[in-house]
Amino acid sequence: MRWNEYLDHHQERFIDELKALIAIPSVSADPGHAPDMLRAADWVVARLKAAGIAEARVVPTAGHPVVFAEWLGAGSDKPTILIYGHYDVQPPEPYDAWTSPPFEPEIRDGKIWGRGASDDKGGVMAAILGIESVMATEGRLPVNVKFFFEGEEEIGSPSIPDAVRTMAGEMASDMIFSADGLQWSPDQPQIIEALKGMLKLELVVRGPRSDQHSGLHGGGIANPALALAQMLAQLKSTEGLVTVPGFYDDVIDLDDETRAAIARIPYDEAAYLAETGAPATTGEPGYTTRERLWARPTLDVNGLTSGWQGPGSKTVLPAEARAKITCRLVAAQTPEAVARAIEAQVQRVTPFGVTAELKVLPGGAPPFLAPAGHNAGSVASEVLAEVYGRAPYRTRVGGSIPILSTFAEVLGVHAVMLGFSHDDENLHAPDEFFRLDSFRRGQEVYARLLQRLGQG
Amino acid sequence: MRWNEYLDHHQERFIDELKALIAIPSVSADPGHAPDMLRAADWVVARLKAAGIAEARVVPTAGHPVVFAEWLGAGSDKPTILIYGHYDVQPPEPYDAWTSPPFEPEIRDGKIWGRGASDDKGGVMAAILGIESVMATEGRLPVNVKFFFEGEEEIGSPSIPDAVRTMAGEMASDMIFSADGLQWSPDQPQIIEALKGMLKLELVVRGPRSDQHSGLHGGGIANPALALAQMLAQLKSTEGLVTVPGFYDDVIDLDDETRAAIARIPYDEAAYLAETGAPATTGEPGYTTRERLWARPTLDVNGLTSGWQGPGSKTVLPAEARAKITCRLVAAQTPEAVARAIEAQVQRVTPFGVTAELKVLPGGAPPFLAPAGHNAGSVASEVLAEVYGRAPYRTRVGGSIPILSTFAEVLGVHAVMLGFSHDDENLHAPDEFFRLDSFRRGQEVYARLLQRLGQG
């Protein structure tokens, strides 16, 4: 039997197994589900062993455990790949918005419905099953394979960077593929070349000791809420240019080839505006909307707090005002250098009569950009083109996936996102589903990937 | 017996009567105290009658009742004065911060302690008793006298403008004196010539339909929190100048004589900074701190609200951002014209990609400025100088007292604040007290005021 026939032959059982995994409510955010987290990790270990990956185990961390496994039988002259994914899921609430219960998976309309079906239990299973199909039909794998499935992705992976540093030796690999990711559409594959990094800040402006009467003190002393507004206005122009000196210094400019590749990907402005409900697109001059979204650094205010926020009016001159700020960074910016540039600008623009403090909050991450000619990306591209019958788009994402930065930093490997979810699959919402077509196609991609890598 | 002897002779009883009035918990903010409000109003009516003001009654309003009384026996060739005050008090909470219970008044250290002692039951009683001393010793009053004591001052007098309009005929008077007010210090009288008006606004800036992911949409669409900051920065400069075109158009400039009078009043910058805890005084260039506080219009942000305000960071691009804004106005600005000027500036400076709405909130009031050579002010000045042995300071206040604007607008009379509280008397805090010296002195001022006015 060929690997392809093996997948066809067992597909019904594979779907039942995915249902069994979805039925374990491994909600990482809810401490009440800690036993389910362990059950899910044990289940995945058992399934890896059943696939022929004998060296599979649950590895404790400071938080939820990691599943680690490896099969190194291809020998040291063959490449080693590491497959990443996560077995934890988003909380299911609100329950009554689900058509069928989140942890009682159902098949309807060629889709499997349940929390985690798409994000990321379907992806984890697709990778395991694709590899099993090769192992089962050929008795061995053409390359060495390691698996690292975490249980904290949905809560920001607080324990994972330390776990990766601790396990760096056993995790050593030539290529990393993440089974947690999206294709462009059910018909169109993509290779995501870049993700943005993150810098999280809080700007606090202080004036009088406590809130003061705005009648008795207005005009006498500075107003921290107004001072905060004046300072924020000195960070970004109304046209969308970040006006912090040095902010763009380390940005790698988009070359013509990359800009052309981005321009070739369909973009529907009306659909984008309908999706967000914004009155218009706007931002840094000189770039298209998609270039700004994908490949230019941003500075956004995420929140403002000061003084009276209830209904009506309260005549206070507030003691302090706060803004939450995040910057999304692109290669080769670093959170540290950008924080220094903003700190210097804050010093320059603090109005007389108030004091200002810029706090760097936890959660910073460097940007991720696959090196030009990245080999794992090229291989994945070829496999995707074979399976879909179309060349993948080369895309970028404005969001941040810190684990990929951690892998790049600690393991020295730029991962390739090779997942098969779609953004219409209610990933963090009620009625999450995964297309059975995508599930099958993901298995095939991982099987072909191994074959392709084995050919050298 | 002369009026002065009468006051001396009965002072002990007067203090007991003030205690009896304080003992009625007339908390206007608390619907549970509605029966006490009526008890207090009835008590004041009875006390006015006992003072010889036979035409005294409780007048219902849409809210708490007004006490109205009049004695018109001086005849139509004599002036008619109206005395204003309020019988309601601030809520007493927190109870356990009081040395003695708020509604069980006590005498300690030459002071009477209890909620409302200073604000404003002591003032109401001082005016009634001063007038009683003339009536009792001379059998009549030298001028016609009306009384208007409201029960909503501590909740912003919502029903009073309508009540004044309804009663405008019977309230007609040549001069109004407010028994609710402060002297400069226990040794130094003052005449408050001006109070600021009020304009209350809310600026709402809207972008996308709902909060968006700052990674997926940052740089693509405008950020309402940042846009709000940029707009606020276009309302006032970091130097403290309001940059709204037309904002200062109707302001009556301070003449040299007024500036000199303000400059003669002691001002202690270090004490002011210690009081507020602000790092420095600052504001509109070209004016002293006291000129800005007393006599220049202001624009303050009272509150900011947008997006994520909890601990740490949440990577949202907020759907909207709000600022509460108040302007304190000086003569001859009007809330309407200033609102129009700010609305026009908001239109001018709204960044591309967001929409902005400026809401005028309830609670606006025109500024109050006693006309130059104001007769009632001159008379009050002379009486204060006699009683204190020092000429009163001519002062202004940055706060707003809408009732005085209502009197000026509806009755056409600029009231004179003639109260005897001091700002150290915990007016809205636990352990409120009133100096017995001030109580006695207030009675004397009102008795002399009548005599002085009767001399024509």
Taking only the tens place, the pLDDT of each residue in B202-221 is 999 999 999 999 988 999 99
Q: Return the pLDDT at B248.
A: 98
Instruction: Give A251→chain B minimum CA distance, Å.
Output: 15
d(C-alpha B233, C-alpha A355), whole Å: 17
Residue in chain A lying closest to B227 (CA): A238
B311, pLDDT greater than 90: no
| CA distance linking residue A19 with residue A114, whole number of Å | 8
Residue B292 touches partner A, C-beta closer than 8 Å: yes
Of B217, B227, B293, the CB nearest to A276: B217
B40-71 pLDDT per residue, tens: 999 999 999 999 999 999 999 999 999 999 99
**Structure confidence at residue A296 (pLDDT):** 97
Q: Which of these, A399, A323, A292, lies nearest to B318 by C-alpha position?
A: A323
**Structure confidence at residue A314 (pLDDT):** 85
> Distance between CA atoms of B94 and B429, rounded to whole angstroms?
9
Mean pLDDT of B88-107: 95
Percent of chain B beyond pLDDT 70? 100
How many other C-beta atoms are found inside a 10 Å radius of the C-beta of residue A197?
A: 25
Chain B residues with CB under 8 Å of A311 CB are none
Contacts B214 to A, Cβ<8 Å: 298, 300, 302, 326, 328
- Closest by CA to A450, choosing from A51, A177, A190, is A177
Predicted local distance difference test score (pLDDT) of residue B402: 86
Q: Which domains does chain A have, with CATH numbers?
A: 3-195+368-454 (3.40.630.10), 197-251+297-360 (3.30.70.360)
pLDDT of residue B241: 98
Scanning the structure block, which residue is given the tokens 């005897």?
Answer: B420
The verdict on a CB contact (< 8 Å) between A398 and B217 is: yes
- Per-residue CA distances from A195 to A125, A181, A226, A267, B195 (Å): 25, 12, 35, 19, 58
Q: Is A301 on the interface with B (CB under 8 A)?
A: yes
- All residue ranges of chain A with pLDDT < 70 are 456
**Structure tokens given for A378:** 């090229």
Rounded to the nearest angstrom, the minimum Cα separation between A397 and chain B is: 7
Q: What is the pLDDT of residues B158-200, one digit of tens each?
A: 999 999 999 999 999 999 999 999 999 999 999 999 999 999 9
* Residue of B313, B320, B357, B427 to mutate, interface with A, max A Cβ within 10 Å: B313
A145 membership: H or E segment, kind and range = strand A144-150
State if pTM tops 0.80.
Answer: yes
pLDDT higher than 80, residue B456: no
Taking an 8 Å cut-off on Cβ atoms, the answer to whether A306 and B309 are in contact is no
Rounded to an integer, what distance in angstroms lies between the CA atom of residue A104 and that of residue A121? 14
Mean local confidence (pLDDT), B330-346: 97
Mean pLDDT of B426-442: 95
pLDDT of B385 higher than 90? yes
Q: What was the pLDDT predicted at A456?
A: 64
Inform me whether the pLDDT recorded for B428 exceeds 90.
Answer: no
* pLDDT tens digits, B390-411: 999 999 998 888 899 899 999 9
pLDDT at B106 over 90: yes
CA distance B44 to B40: 6
> Distance, in angstroms, between B21 CA and closest chain A CA?
29
**A264-to-A290, A392, A418 alpha-carbon distances in Å:** 11, 12, 22
